Chains A and B, each alone.
Chain A
C-alpha cells in the first residue's frame, strides 16, 4: 500500500486551470507509482473548484473518489492549502490487492434511503457484495449524521468503524458540498467502503475537552435545537454556566455563537473508562452550539433527546493543539501500530476548534506529523465529526478529532 498527497491552489484569476490540476494528478500518480485506488479530496468551499473535482475523477476513472468541502482549506503533510486562497488537497492511496468503492447520493427527502443506496452502491463498486467493509469513510453534508450512522449500522453491523467528518464551509452558510466525482451535492451523503489489503488500520476519536462541574438535563429539544435545560431556556442556562460568554447573543446582537463557544461546548456522556478499583471517568460526545434562537434555544451540530444530561465542557487552545497529535498517538497505541509501518493517514479536525486555535493550527498539524513519523496525511476541518469510541460505538459529535491510520 502506498499513500501520497498533493495540493493545488486556485490561480490568481480564480480558475483551476487544467495544467495545475493535471500537474497535481500526475505528481500523485508518480508518487504512487501508478493510479490510486482510493482518492480523497478536501477542498475549499468555493464553486470555482467544482470542475477540478470532475477532472481529477476523470483522470482516475477506476479509483473510488470522494470530495468534501472543508472549512477554509486543509492541512497536509506537505503544508496547508486554501488558507491563502481557495485550494484543494489531493490524497491518494494505491492498493491493488485491496478493494475500494465510493458513492454519493443526494438526501432528497429521505437521508436514510440515500444512505442505504450510497452504501450499497459503494460496496457494489468495490465488487464486494455481501462483505463487511473494514472501514467506512464518511462525508455528508451537515444535518443527518445520526441517521446516517444508524442506517450504516443497520446495514453492515454496528462494529464496522465509521470515520469521517461533515462537509463544512467558511461561515456556516450552507456552501458545503460532497461528491463522488460527479457534480457536487449540497445535501447528500458521500461515503467510501474500504477493504484494504494490509492490516492493521488504526483509528481514534477524541476531543480536547474536559467536563466541568456544571450540568443539566435537556427538557425540551427538537433534534439539534436545544430549547430548554432544566426547564429553562437553554441559551440562558448556558450563558450562566459560561459566565456570560453569549451575553451579546441573548441581547440579540449576534445570533452566531459558533466561534465563541468552541472552547466551552456541551458534552453528553456516551461511556465510561473504568480503571482499577472501580475508578472511572466518563467520555463525552461534544455538542457545539452554533447559534442562539430568538426563543432562547441553542442550535447545535448534533442531536440530543429529552432527558439527556448535558455537561459544560472546557477546553483550551493548548489542549486542542496538543490533542491532535495525542489522538494519533492513541490510535497507534490502541492498535499496536509502529510508526515506521505507517503508510499514511486521514485526520478530521473540528472546524470550530481550528478557527479557535487560529494560527496555532500549524502547531497542531506538526504534532500530527510527528506522531505519524512524517507519513503523508490530510486534515479536513469539518462541521461535525464521526468516529468510533473506545467501546466500539460509532458516534457523531462536535469539536472532535478523528483519525485513520493506514499501515503499509
Chain B
C-alpha cells in the first residue's frame, strides 16, 4: 500500500517534470524559431538583390540544419532544375525534373528528407558540384516564390539530415520565401525604375539620349576636359526638308526618317561619344576628344553626308539634308550652356546661309552674340529708366501742301551702347516679350507729345507702328481707344501702321479683326513697308486700312532706275484701285520728290522733307505750312 502510494507520488513528479520538459523543449524550439526569424528578418532587410538574398538564405540554412552545402534551384529554360545559388564550388547543380520524384513533389509544395540520396533516381542522373559527394539531403520548396524555387541542403553522410531538421528548414523557408519575394519585387522595381529612368532620359522613338542627358553629359565633359586640358565638340544638327516629309507623307514617314537618322548618327560616332535627340528634328552630338575645330568640322561633315543618304520608305526614297552647327570646348565656351548656345548659333547661320551645310562657330558670331547679350540686358527696364524716347518724322501731303502728320519713331539711348535705331533692338525686344508694353508706351507717349499739335488744326494725325505681338494682345483695341480718349484726340488723329509681316503671321486673323474694329471706330490704318516682304495681294485686299506706305527701297531707286519707277507707279495704281492712298517713304532728294509726285503718291516722308524731330522741337508746335520743304 505504501509502495503504491509512493509510486503514485513518483508518477505525479514524473508527470510534472514531463510537463516541464515539454515546456522547456517547446520554449527552446520557440527561441530557435525566433532566432531564425530574426536572422530571416536581417536577410529580409539587408538583401537588395536576389543573388545577395540567395547567399543569405544559404547561410541561414546552415544555422537551422547541419548541412554541409546548400543550393537554391529553380527551373531553367530547358525544364531542368538548376542552381541559381550554391555554396559548393564547381559547376551549378542541375537535376532533370521528374514530377513523381522528391524534387518534383517539392516543387508541388511537399518537402522531403532524403536519407539515402544516392538511391534517388533524379539525383543519380543529376549533374554538377557535389553530385557524388552528397549522401543525404533536405528539399524544401520556397512556396511563395513564383516560379517555385527549391532550397536544398546537402550532407556527405547518409541520414545526417532528418525530418526534425526538415521541420526547422520548412519553418525557415517561409521567411526565406518572404525575403526572396521581396528581393524579386525589388528586382522588378529596380527594373521598372531602370525603364522609367531610361524613358526619362531617352527618346522613345529613336532610343537616343534626350536633351537632358546631353546637357548633363556636356556639363560633365566640360569639367573633365577642363581638368585634363583637352577638348570636345558639340554638334547641333537640324534636318532640312523634314517638315515637308512629315506634312506630305505623314508622321509614319517622319518617324521612319528620324529613326534612320538616329541609327546613322549612332553608326557615325564612337562608343564614348554622346548622341541625343534634341527635340523635333534636331539632334546633338558630343564628340569626345575632338578639341580641334577642323577635325570636328570634318567629323561633322561626315555625319552630315551620312544623314543625306536616301532613306527607303514604302517603296519610296526619302531625302533629307542636315544643317550642322559646331562649337568646340574650350575655344567657343567653357561651360555647357555657352557651348550649346554657340553650336545653336552656328546652326542658325548654316540655316540662314542656305541649309545642308556645316558651320563652325566663329569670332564674328561671338561678337554678335555679345552685342545681343548687351542689348538684352540693357533692354530690361530701359523704358522704366526713361531710356526709350520718341522722335517724330513729318509726313508731307502733296494735296495739303504741307505737313499733315508725324510718324512716331522709337529710339533707345542706352547708357552703354549709345543711341540705337529700332531695327537693332526691337527684334530683340520682341523675342524677350517686351513689345506689348513698349508698344503701349509708344501709343501713350505719341498721343501725349502731339496732342496739342493734333488738336490745333484739322486733318492732322500721328502714326504709330504696331508690332505683331502688340496687335494680338487681348486689350489692344481698348488701349488704343483709351489712349486717344485720354488726350482728347479724335480717332482719326491716330494712325496705326501695321507691317506686312504682321499680317501674314499665324495670328493675322486676330490682327485683322482688331484693325478692322479700330478702322470702324474711325482710327486710321496704314499698311507699312509694302513691297519689302511678301507683297501679298490677298492680304492687301482683306486689309481694312486706307493707306499704303511704299518701302524706302523702291523710293531710293526711282530717280535712277526705270524699273523702280515703274514699280512705284504700279503700287500707286494698285493702291488707287483699292481706294487707298500712297505714302512714299525715304524721300531724300528733289528728284525722288518730283517723281513721287509725278506717279501720284499722296504723301511723302523722308529726310528731304525733314529729319525726325524731337518732341521738344519747336516745329512740332508750328503750323503745317511752316513745316515744308
User: CB < 8 Å: which of A128, A130, A208, A333 contacts B118?
Assistant: A130
Q: What's the minimum C-beta distance from A297 to chain B, rounded to whole angstroms?
A: 25
Stretch at the interface among B2-10, B258-266, B400-408: B2-10
Q: Counting CB contacts under 8 A, is B234 at the interface?
A: no
What residue in chain B is nearest A128 (Cβ atoms)? B102
What residue in chain A is nearest B163 (Cβ atoms)? A134
| Interface contact A273-B117, CB-CB below 8 Å | no
| Interface contact B116-A130, CB-CB below 8 Å | yes
| Interface contact A319-B11, CB-CB below 8 Å | yes
| Interface contact A283-B120, CB-CB below 8 Å | no
Q: What's the minimum C-beta distance from A109 to chain B, rounded to whole angstroms?
A: 26
| Interface contact A314-B116, CB-CB below 8 Å | no
Q: What's the minimum C-beta distance from B518 to chain A, rounded to whole angstroms?
A: 93
| Interface contact B113-A197, CB-CB below 8 Å | no
What residue in chain B is nearest A158 (Cβ atoms)? B159
What are the residues of chain B within 8 A of A157 when measuring CB–CB?
115, 158-160, 162
| Interface contact A132-B159, CB-CB below 8 Å | yes
| Interface contact B102-A131, CB-CB below 8 Å | yes
| Interface contact A197-B110, CB-CB below 8 Å | yes
Q: Counting CB contacts under 8 A, is A276 at the interface?
A: yes
User: CB < 8 Å: which of A134, A159, A273, A392 contacts B21?
Assistant: A273
Stretch at the interface among A40-48, A53-61, A209-217: A209-217
Given A130-B114, A130-B120, A159-B164, are A316 and B21 also a contact pair (CB < 8 Å)?
A: no
| Interface contact B112-A131, CB-CB below 8 Å | yes
What residue in chain A is nearest B138 (Cβ atoms)? A132
Q: Counting CB contacts under 8 A, is A387 at the interface?
A: no
Given A274-B21, A275-B21, are A130 and B7 also a contact pair (CB < 8 Å)?
A: no
What are the residues of chain A within 8 A of B136 when measuring CB–CB?
132
Q: Counting CB contacts under 8 A, is A156 at the interface?
A: yes
Q: Counting CB contacts under 8 A, is B249 at the interface?
A: no
| Interface contact B115-A334, CB-CB below 8 Å | no
Report the separation of the CA atoms of residues A155 and B158 in the bound assembly, to the nearest whole angstrom.
8
Report the separation of the CA atoms of residues A158 and B293 in the bound assembly, to the nearest whole angstrom.
84
Q: What's the minimum C-beta distance from A158 to chain B, rounded to whole angstroms?
A: 8
| Interface contact A281-B17, CB-CB below 8 Å | yes
Q: What's the minimum C-beta distance from A258 to chain B, rounded to whole angstroms?
A: 21
Q: Counting CB contacts under 8 A, is B457 at the interface?
A: no
What are the residues of chain A within 8 A of B21 when measuring CB–CB?
273-275, 390
What are the residues of chain A within 8 A of B102 when measuring CB–CB?
128, 130-131
Chain A stretch 299-337: residues in CB contact (< 8 A) with chain B? 314-316, 319, 326, 330, 333-334, 336
What residue in chain A is nearest B170 (Cβ atoms)? A199
| Interface contact A275-B115, CB-CB below 8 Å | no
- The residue in A132, A134, A213, A274 that gathers the most chain B C-beta atoms within 10 A of its C-beta is A132
What are the residues of chain B within 8 A of A283 when measuring CB–CB?
14
What residue in chain B is nearest A326 (Cβ atoms)? B15
What are the residues of chain B within 8 A of A336 when measuring CB–CB?
26
Q: Counting CB contacts under 8 A, is B305 at the interface?
A: no
Q: What's the minimum C-beta distance from B20 to chain A, rounded to whole angstroms?
A: 5
| Interface contact B8-A210, CB-CB below 8 Å | yes
What are the residues of chain A within 8 A of B118 when measuring CB–CB?
130
Report the separation of the CA atoms of residues A198 and B16 in the bound assembly, to the nearest whole angstrom.
31
What are the residues of chain A within 8 A of B100 when measuring CB–CB?
127
Q: What's the minimum C-beta distance from A314 to chain B, rounded to whole angstroms?
A: 4
Report the separation of the CA atoms of residues A160 and B119 in the bound assembly, to the nearest whole angstrom.
18
- The residue in A316, A326, A336 that gathers the most chain B C-beta atoms within 10 A of its C-beta is A316
Report the separation of the CA atoms of residues A275 and B8 in the bound assembly, to the nearest whole angstrom.
19
Report the separation of the CA atoms of residues A160 and B166 in the bound assembly, to the nearest whole angstrom.
12
| Interface contact A131-B7, CB-CB below 8 Å | no
What residue in chain B is nearest A204 (Cβ atoms)? B18
| Interface contact A130-B8, CB-CB below 8 Å | no
User: CB < 8 Å: which of A130, A280, A392 contacts B115?
Assistant: A130
User: CB < 8 Å: which of A134, A210, A326 contacts B10?
Assistant: A210
Report the separation of the CA atoms of residues A400 and B100 in the bound assembly, to the nearest whole angstrom.
39
What residue in chain B is nearest A284 (Cβ atoms)? B14
Chain A stretch 142-171: residues in CB contact (< 8 A) with chain B? 155-160
Q: Counting CB contacts under 8 A, is A279 at the interface?
A: yes
User: CB < 8 Å: which of B16, B20, B114, B123 contacts A132?
Assistant: B114
Q: Counting CB contacts under 8 A, is A129 at the interface?
A: yes
Given A281-B13, A281-B17, A330-B18, are A212 and B3 also a contact pair (CB < 8 Å)?
A: yes
Q: Counting CB contacts under 8 A, is B121 at the interface?
A: yes
Q: Counting CB contacts under 8 A, is B132 at the interface?
A: no
| Interface contact A130-B123, CB-CB below 8 Å | yes
Given A273-B14, A273-B20, A314-B3, are A132 and B110 also a contact pair (CB < 8 Å)?
A: no
What are the residues of chain A within 8 A of B119 when measuring CB–CB?
129-130
| Interface contact A279-B17, CB-CB below 8 Å | yes
Q: What's the minimum C-beta distance from B160 to chain A, rounded to whole angstroms?
A: 8
What are the residues of chain B within 8 A of A279 when measuring CB–CB?
17
| Interface contact A275-B17, CB-CB below 8 Å | yes
| Interface contact A212-B6, CB-CB below 8 Å | yes
What residue in chain B is nearest A153 (Cβ atoms)? B159
| Interface contact A334-B114, CB-CB below 8 Å | no
Q: What's the minimum C-beta distance from A150 to chain B, rounded to whole angstroms?
A: 13
| Interface contact B113-A131, CB-CB below 8 Å | yes
What are the residues of chain A within 8 A of B20 when measuring CB–CB?
273, 275-276
Q: What's the minimum C-beta distance from A357 to chain B, rounded to whole angstroms?
A: 15
Q: What's the minimum C-beta distance from A95 to chain B, rounded to whole angstroms?
A: 12
Q: Counting CB contacts under 8 A, is B22 at the interface?
A: yes
What are the residues of chain A within 8 A of B164 when measuring CB–CB?
159, 392
User: CB < 8 Å: which of A129, A314, A390 contacts B4?
Assistant: A314
Q: What's the minimum C-beta distance from A330 to chain B, rounded to whole angstroms?
A: 7
Given A131-B102, A210-B8, A315-B7, are A334 and B22 also a contact pair (CB < 8 Å)?
A: yes
Q: What's the minimum C-beta distance from A198 to chain B, rounded to whole angstroms?
A: 11
What are the residues of chain A within 8 A of B160 when measuring CB–CB?
157
Report the separation of the CA atoms of residues A315 and B112 in the bound assembly, to the nearest whole angstrom.
41
Listed in ascending order, the chain B residues whose CB lies under 8 Å from chain A are 3-4, 6-11, 13-18, 20-22, 25-26, 100, 102, 110, 112-121, 123, 136, 158-160, 162-164
In the A-B complex, the 6 residue pairs with the smallest Cβ-Cβ separation, listed nearest first, are A157-B159, A130-B119, A130-B120, A132-B115, A210-B10, A314-B7
Other A-B pairs beyond A210-B7, A210-B9, 19, CB < 8 Å: A97-B110, A129-B121, A130-B116, A130-B117, A130-B123, A131-B114, A132-B159, A157-B159, A159-B163, A160-B162, A210-B8, A273-B20, A274-B21, A276-B20, A280-B17, A314-B4, A315-B7, A319-B8, A392-B164
Listed in ascending order, the chain A residues whose CB lies under 8 Å from chain B are 97, 127-132, 134, 155-160, 197, 208-213, 273-276, 279-281, 283, 314-316, 319, 326, 330, 333-334, 336, 390, 392
Q: List 14 A-B contacts (CB under 8 A).
A: A129-B121, A130-B102, A130-B118, A131-B114, A132-B113, A155-B116, A156-B115, A158-B159, A210-B6, A212-B7, A273-B18, A314-B4, A314-B7, A334-B22
